[in-house]
């Protein structure tokens, strides 16, 4: 299904050529000591809390601005959030009273995009507005339900959109849906193609040691054009069948590196400064981006915590592609569940 940008698409073609997209734009400030500061943007998925109290026909997500500063030797990283920068992004589109559960951020062809994992709508985020672009069906694309989109990345001029990448099971353990094992590719004109990644996701989790009925769930995936590799930061990792209560403490601490064809997988353990990789199993990765000008060797990531009976929490951390942590988990204020982070 094609979307908006009719006028802009024509301009894009004349500027970039048939098979090219507008390059990504990132703001940076260089300092006299050699350090560099980059602008960050985070966005929320507030689940059922997204409905606005003053307007029952409106739903919201929240964006928050921040900065990341990296030292000249690239060994020290600090992150600061701009107080008072929180801004509502609203929409009236909903599915059964749920909406604006935005799960990632990505710039594609000059537009900042974010997927709603409840409605299946892919939005452009601009000036506090959520502008619908493309609707994504669940699974192979012939379904009536919206896609539960969790991650975005750009490869070869296409926007890739994916979900959890595992089967959904009922309370008895029977598989009821494999829709989340399909991904979408989208062209700059909004043409959508559904692709079955069941074999890829299955091979990946087997390599990582989580064979069925165990599972990996994915919310943080990026293609590195510089390194010519895929990177996956699973949200959850379990060697046992899904159990809703137990899943709350199945937070993954692994980074999976894959070749361009997604046939070879390398598992890297993300360790805290003391060397442990088992701290805080209630926290799992929900988004990440490569820090600019580091040859895609350094990653800034968001972790989410969702435990029954307590408020959601979000954390930011920085580590390299070998799993060594430069910035241990740092909590974001206000108990909002952020699930997208991006350099802008």
Which ranges in the chain belong to alpha helices (H)? 6-16, 198-208, 244-247
- pLDDT, tens only, 31-56: 999 999 999 999 998 766 666 656 67
Is the peptide bond prior to 213 cis by the omega test (within 30 degrees of 0)? yes
11: Cβ contacts below 8 Å, ≥ 6 apart: none
pLDDT single digits (tens) 59-72: 999 999 999 999 99
CA 25 remoteness from chain centre: 19
DSSP character string of 216-258: EEEEEEEEETTTTEEEEEEEEEESS---HHHHTT-B--EEEEE
Residue 14 has pLDDT above 80, yes or no: no
> What is the pLDDT at residue 278?
64
Q: What is the pLDDT of residue 116?
A: 96
By percentage, how much of the chain surpasses pLDDT 90? 82
Average pLDDT of the residues in 317-333: 96
Q: Which CATH superfamily is domain 6-17+24-343 in?
A: Apyrase (2.120.10.100)
Cα distance between residue 193 and residue 152, in whole Å: 14
The pLDDT value given to residue 272? 72
Question: Does 314 show up as a binding residue in the annotation?
Answer: no
Q: How many other C-beta atoms lie within 10 A of the C-beta of residue 261?
A: 8
Per-residue buried b or exposed e for 147-177, using 16+ beta carbons within 10 Å of the residue's own CB:
bbbbbbbbeeebbbbbbbbbbbbeeeeeeee
Tell me if 219 is assigned to a ligand binding site: yes
Predicted local distance difference test score (pLDDT) of residue 294: 98
Q: How many CB atoms lie within 10 A of CB 34?
A: 10
Dig out the tokens for 170 from the structure: 């009922």
The answer to whether 150 is annotated as binding is: yes
Determine phi and psi for 2, rounding to 5 degrees.
-90, 160
Q: What is the mean pLDDT of residues 266-294?
A: 88
Per-residue model confidence (pLDDT) at position 64:
97
Tokens of residue 276, six digits: 């442990």
* For residues 266-280, average pLDDT: 79
Mean pLDDT of 186-203: 98
Report d(CA 243, CA 268) in Å as an integer: 26
Instruction: Give the count of alpha carbons within 13 A of 145, CB side only.
Output: 12
User: Backbone phi, then psi, for 140, in 5-degree steps?
Assistant: -75, 0
Quick check: pTM over 0.85?
yes
Read off the DSSP letter of residue 181.
G
Residue 80 known to bind ligand: no
Task: Tell me what the mean pLDDT of segment 182-193 comes to.
Answer: 98
Question: CA-CA distance, 38 to 343, in Å (whole number)?
Answer: 7
Total H helices, total E strands in the chain: 3, 24
User: Where does the pLDDT of residue 168 fall: very low under 50, low under 70, confident under 90, or very high at 90 and above?
Assistant: very high
103 annotated ligand binder: yes
Averaged pLDDT for residues 173-179:
94
Q: Residue 7: is its pLDDT beyond 60?
A: no
For 51, what's the count of Cα atoms within 13 Å in the CB-facing half-sphere? 10
* SS3 (DSSP) at 132: strand
Across the range 197-206, mean pLDDT stands at: 98
- The response to whether 191 counts as a known ligand-binding position is no
292 burial (CB, 10 Å; 0-12 / 13-18 / 19+) is: middle
pLDDT, mean of residues 67-88: 97
How confident is residue 172, by pLDDT bands cut at 50, 70 and 90?
confident
Average pLDDT value for the chain: 92
pLDDT(1) > 60: no
């Amino acid at each position: 299904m094609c979307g908006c940008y009719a006028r802009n698409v024509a301009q894009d073609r004349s500027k970039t050529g048939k098979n090219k997209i507008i390059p990504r734009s990132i703001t940076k400030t260089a300092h006299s000591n050699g350090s560099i500061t980059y602008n960050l943007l985070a966005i929320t998925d507030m689940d059922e809390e997204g409905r606005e109290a003053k307007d029952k026909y409106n739903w919201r997500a929240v964006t928050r601005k921040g900065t990341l500063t990296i030292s000249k030797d690239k060994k020290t990283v600090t992150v600061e959030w701009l107080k008072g920068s929180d801004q509502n992004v609203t929409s009236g589109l909903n599915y059964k009273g749920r909406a604006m559960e935005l799960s990632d951020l990505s710039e594609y062809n000059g537009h900042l995009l974010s997927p709603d994992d409840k409605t299946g709508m892919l939005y452009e985020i601009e000036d506090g507005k959520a502008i619908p672009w493309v609707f994504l069906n669940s699974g192979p694309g012939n379904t009536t339900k919206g896609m539960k989109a969790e991650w975005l990345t750009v490869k070869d001029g296409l926007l890739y959109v994916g979900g959890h990448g595992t089967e959904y099971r009922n309370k008895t353990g029977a598989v009821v849906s494999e829709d989340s094992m399909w991904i979408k590719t989208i062209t700059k004109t909004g043409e959508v193609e559904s692709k079955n990644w069941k074999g890829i996701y299955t091979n990946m989790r087997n390599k990582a040691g989580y064979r069925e009925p165990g599972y990996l769930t994915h919310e943080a995936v990026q293609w590195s054009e510089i390194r010519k590799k895929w990177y996956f930061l699973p949200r959850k990792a379990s060697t046992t069948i899904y159990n809703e209560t137990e899943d709350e403490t199945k937070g993954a601490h692994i980074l999976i590196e894959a070749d361009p064809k997604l046939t070879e997988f390398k598992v890297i353990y993300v360790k805290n400064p003391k060397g442990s990789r088992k701290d805080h199993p209630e926290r799992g990765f929900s988004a990440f981006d490569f820090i600019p000008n580091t040859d895609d060797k350094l990653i800034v990531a968001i972790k989410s915590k969702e435990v029954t009976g307590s408020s959601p929490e979000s954390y930011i951390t920085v580590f390299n592609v070998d799993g060594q942590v430069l910035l241990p988990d740092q909590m974001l204020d206000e108990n909002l569940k952020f699930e997208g982070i991006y350099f802008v």
